[in-house]
Chains A and B, each alone.
Chain A
């Protein structure tokens, strides 16, 4: 199972860019990286997925260095509604292991 390590919590302010880094040293060749967002008492919501380099969609960017041993989720100009827990998952064909995620708190 691919193990991931994320900061337990982060604080930011409205309008700032937030970068959350996930470490996944034992990522396998076929693994891809997926980030989810979860609000209290709701199911995780897919944010972005990537394999290498940079991926961007309407809500976030994902940066993956060449060795793929880490990845960084970038949230541009966060708002109060971005306060949530963010999970990094590695894999695809085998059981994914969720850690405790990163609790992001956005302050006014």
Chain B
């Protein structure tokens, strides 16, 4: 049973550039959520995709956008990169637009993509 996968593992960009991160959800899951985790902090919710639409969004600017494909995989795009965008970007998958339905079903996280902006 394949878990959540993310690519690339690491990425180095310069200020002003654009970046695309990719995520494939756990087998059987149809919902993808993206999180940003700064050093020493807990993950912060960016947005969630379900049925190829953005369903919920956290407190992040429009420079952060995403997409979900029919096979449930997802992309996170960040434009006009700032130094403060340097972080670990996590993808989590779940089912039916929830963050977990209880009874043992919850979000499952990928290994993350470490983005460094110089």
Q: Which A residues are closer than 8 A to B by beta carbons?
A: 32, 34, 36, 41-46, 49, 51, 87, 91-101
Contact = CB atoms under 8 A, between A and B. Distances in A.
Contact of A44 (B41, B90, B114): B90
Contact of B58 (A36, A46, A95): A95
Contacts of B35: 98
6 contacts: A41-B114, A43-B4, A43-B92, A49-B100, A51-B102, A91-B100
A34 B103 CA distance: 11
A43 B40 contact: no
B106 A46 contact: yes
Contacts of A49: 100, 102, 104, 106
Interface residues of B, number: 29
A95 B100 CA distance: 10
A100 B106 contact: no
Nearest to B97: A93
Given A41-B88, A42-B111, A49-B106, A32 B100 contact: yes
Interface of B: 4, 35, 40-45, 48, 56, 58, 88, 90-92, 98-102, 104, 106-112, 114
Name A's interface SS. loop
B43 A42 contact: no
Contact of A94 (B88, B99, B102, B108): B99
B30 to A, nearest CB: 15
Contacts of A93: 98-99
A91 B99 CA distance: 8
Contacts of B88: 41
Given A41-B88, A43-B90, A34 B109 contact: no
B79 to A, nearest CB: 23
